[in-house]
Structure 1
Amino acid sequence: MAGSAQPRQLAFSLPHAESLTREDFLEGPGNAAAVALIDRWPDWPARTVMLTGESGAGKSHLASIWAVNSGARLTAARALTAATVPDALATGALVIEDVAPSAVDERALFHLLNLARQQQADVLMTARTLPATWTFDLPDLASRLRAVPVVTLASPDDALLRALIVKLCMDRQLTVDESLVNYVAARIERSFAAARRAVDLLDRESLRLGRPVTRALASELLRGPAA
């Protein structure tokens, strides 16, 4: 029918695989200490260690690398209970993701740390904030966590931010060029979360509009000062 509106293309949020191998981990000055910690296992400063950093900083990626090397099981802090503690340490190594006062059974975690010490098991915890800032009902747990060696993954420098944008695009099978990457990097805050949001926006809008991911599309979607 003449003059009828063209149907809009729907944008579906499809799952995309993110490679978590050692070769695909992006290294930079801000995460060098964390990478060194993972690479030097089992020569750790203590049997239990912690990685901290903002969302998307690479904590889970490094934890996955270490789990492959050590045979560690992986569990979310929220899933840890007193009943699951013995099985969690069955392989002698364990990753506990996203530890936080509001996201963990305090008695279960305290029991696990004690049992890990008795069994000489290795434990790698990840968290967004430093244990020194946490408040627990169990003083002994707070004291134990504050004694755990902590390595923090810092915000990315300019080179790592651009490399991250490229990797995120590759994970989504998006073809990008250097001009686009530089444009995006100059117009987002220097953080892992901002890079992920920008690439997600470009991917969704590219699909919705039926357009390739280009610098022109980025200029329409991103607002911010050039670096």
Structure 2
Amino acid sequence: MPPASSRDDFLTTGANRDALAMLDAPERWPQGRLMLIGGPGAGKSHLAGFWAAERDAQIVQGWTLNAGNVDELMPMGGAVVVEDGHEIGGNPAAEQGLFHLWNLTGARQGLLLITAQLPPRDWGIVLPDLRSRLDTAAQAVLPPPDEALLPAVLVKLFADRQIQVAPEVVDWLALRMDRDLDLARRLVAAMDRESLADRRAITRRLAAELLDKLAPPDA
């Protein structure tokens, strides 16, 4: 089943509270634009998804943009989410599309939220006018999870798969794995597959085996 992705399902801690507060105050976004930046699995799509749902905003993948398809995305006073903005750099059509969408946001008094794994300076943007605009955009950053967020995310990932896991397994993992939400997703998925394939319970032993495979100690 798909992961729970409503606002109520978003796990808020000190690691992401500031980004959420900034997302919820679009009246403070300079000229209605905001960059939401964080590593893989940091929660960008979750945040952007419920933000878009609450504002009837369209969501589009950055690499699909071009100058011919963005006009219909941004109605007067509308809102658009561009996902994976870091994939736009070096794609001439997508760069032109984002540049046009950026300008439409101001002209139509709309809101533009762009998610990305990296800040714009690292996207490899070729179009000078777009690069200069992105460099001045406000940024909300999702840092790596803190010690409160990681175990809560593990519990949610197991619950999304309807898996019951003993609390000591979650606590054991949270103490030993890197604070990496993408690793947490891959680890829970691997434990789910392994337990189903071999009809094994999810124990600390299984968790340790798969953690060593996915994130060896000397990696």
TM-score of the aligned structures, taking structure 1 as reference length: 0.87
**Structure 1 residue 102: Cα displacement:** 4.2
Question: Using the alignment, how far apart are the partners of 1:131 and 1:219 within structure 2?
Answer: 37
| Matched residue, 1:105 | 94
**Structure 1 residue 42: Cα displacement:** 4.0
Letter in 2 for 1:139: P
Higher helix residue share: 2
**Structure 1 residue 187: Cα displacement:** 2.6
- Give the direction of change, closer, same or farther, for the CA distance of 1:102–1:196 in structure 2 (3 Å limit): farther
Match runs of 1:40-119 below 5 Å: 40-90=25-75, 92-100=78-86, 101-102=89-90, 105-119=94-108
Letter in 2 for 1:187: R
Letter in 1 for 2:80: L
Maintained 8 Å contact 2:80/2:112: yes
For residue 82 of structure 2, give the secondary structure of its aligned residue in structure 1. strand
Question: Using the alignment, how far apart are the partners of 1:134 and 1:97 within structure 2?
Answer: 13
**Structure 1 residue 202: Cα displacement:** 0.6
Question: Using the alignment, how far apart are the partners of 1:197 and 1:102 within structure 2?
Answer: 29
For residue 96 of structure 1, give the secondary structure of its aligned residue in structure 2. strand
Letter in 1 for 2:174: A
Rg comparison, structure with higher value: 1
Question: Using the alignment, how far apart are the partners of 1:114 and 1:220 within structure 2?
Answer: 51
Match runs of 1:1-227 below 5 Å: 16-90=1-75, 92-100=78-86, 101-102=89-90, 105-223=94-212
Identity score, percent? 42
For residue 105 of structure 1, give the secondary structure of its aligned residue in structure 2. helix
TM-score of the aligned structures, taking structure 2 as reference length: 0.90
**Structure 1 residue 111: Cα displacement:** 1.0
Maintained 8 Å contact 2:48/2:81: yes
Give RMSD over aligned pairs.
1.7
**Structure 1 residue 182: Cα displacement:** 1.0
Maintained 8 Å contact 1:116/1:122: yes
Deviation beyond 3 Å, 4+ runs, structure 1: 41-46
Letter in 2 for 1:175: Q
Unaligned runs of 5+ residues in structure 1 are 1-15
Q: Deviations over 1:111-154 (max 9, x none)?
A: 11111111111000000001133332211100000111011100
Question: Using the alignment, how far apart are the partners of 1:57 and 1:42 within structure 2?
Answer: 24
Maintained 8 Å contact 2:154/2:188: yes
Question: Using the alignment, how far apart are the partners of 1:65 and 1:167 within structure 2?
Answer: 17
Letter in 1 for 2:55: S
